[in-house]
Structure 1
């Protein structure tokens, strides 16, 4: 599996943005990801839309690679770890979790994280209702103004790239400003919200092989 990094320093902390849709915080040995939407493909199948289970399996394989590559001790999920109800996709997640029981998982609950508390307990997931404070950062699901530098998700940010004589392409990105970092959706089974250029914002778009800074 190919991994490309773009290292940035925020508040004195080295953060590695990766082409595999997650960030690594070196000091805390923590992977940070958003919007995994575990169970989304089964949710769609339940409603008559034929989405392959391989979509989620591919996401979990990518997560496994990242945990192994960085030897991460923590996984911080800034919302929407799960998509909806308990469904057949949960078996894949259960298998993955059983292979990574030494990994501490902390979830800042998002708008889709509505499972009963005993489900999170069964998977050994620590939950925060609104935020997680780990100086110098505040981890939240939905981006909002804050006195602390915040790391969030929810928006599934992306950018359009125009190519001369060729169709424009859409790429997922990390959106960074003076006060916040918005992560791309970890799951590939999500749409993209096109970000607009604005003074003070930087966009780190990526493909499987490259980063593009705007």
Structure 2
């Protein structure tokens, strides 16, 4: 789905990412690379294929949009370097010319040399690319920049014809701030309540749709 935000055309992908055409930038949040391996280490059985599935989806986005920059608005990594993170290292080698920018989230605790080895440019609190401010958590500043964040894993509740209720991840666009869905499939959802002027774009298995 194509939408206009602050005069810029943004493509909302059902793979839980945004492509900003004029900047050739792929934008996503909350990959949580290493989360499944972290859980397995602590005795919680999570399939090893979870992280690989996310990287395969990222490959599809790379092929579809051919971005020059990958921007992650926080929680790129879930904990420390582990087997899942090593898989990302292999993925990174396949795209040596891709610029990767990370706005650090609360789970991004790798050492500086780890980010450098992966060719990731790190911003501690925000990344400004007019007309947008990219941050991880809810914004504290409201100015000429429109805030785009992640962190809360937004979702919406849709009702079917048989009164069934289904939860879907979504893109949220408010007056001053947008919230990206969590890119990783291994995350929960926080249902958001609409206020006047809010726009919600549900991500179904087939498409992105405004609700």
TM-score between the two structures when normalised by the length of structure 2: 0.96
Instruction: List gaps (5 residues or longer) in structure 1.
Output: 1-5
Matched residue SS, 1:89 = helix
* 145-154 or 29-38, which deviates more: 145-154
Q: Deviations along 1:82-128, whole A, 9 cap, x unmatched?
A: 00121111221011001011110000000000111000000000000
Equivalence for 2:74: 79
1:153 to 150, 155, 158: 150
1:23 aligns with 2:4: no
- Which residue number corresponds to residue 181 of structure 2? 184
Shift of 1:173: 0.2
After superposition, the CA RMSD in angstroms is: 1.0
Q: CA deviation at 1:206?
A: 1.5
For residue 108 of structure 2, the aligned residue among 113, 133, 152 is 113
TM-score (structure 1 length as normaliser): 0.95
For 1:75 and 1:184, how far apart are their aligned partners in 2?
Answer: 16
State the Cα deviation string for residues 43-71 of structure 1 (Å, max 9, x = none): 00000011111111010001011012111
Q: Which residue of 2 aligns with 1:131?
A: 126
Contact (CA 8 Å) 1:34, 1:80: kept in 2 or not? yes
Task: Choose 113-122 or 85-94, whichever is displaced more.
Answer: 85-94
Q: What stretches of structure 2 of length at least 5 have no aligned partner?
A: none
Q: How many residues align?
A: 209
Cα distance in 2 for partners of 1:165, 1:205 equals 19
Tell me if the contact between 2:12 and 2:208 (Cα under 8 Å) persists in the aligned partners.
no
Aligned 8 A contact 1:20 1:208 in 2:
no
How far apart are residue 166 of structure 1 and its match?
Answer: 4.2
- Tell me how far apart the structure 1 counterparts of residues 152 and 200 of structure 2 sit (CA, whole Å): 14
2:40 matched residue in structure 1: 45
Q: Give the 4+ runs in structure 1 shifted more than 6 A.
A: none
**Structure 1 contact 22–31 (Cα < 8 Å) conserved:** yes
Alignment partner, residue 3 of structure 1: none
Equivalent of residue 197 in structure 2, options 196, 200, 209: 200
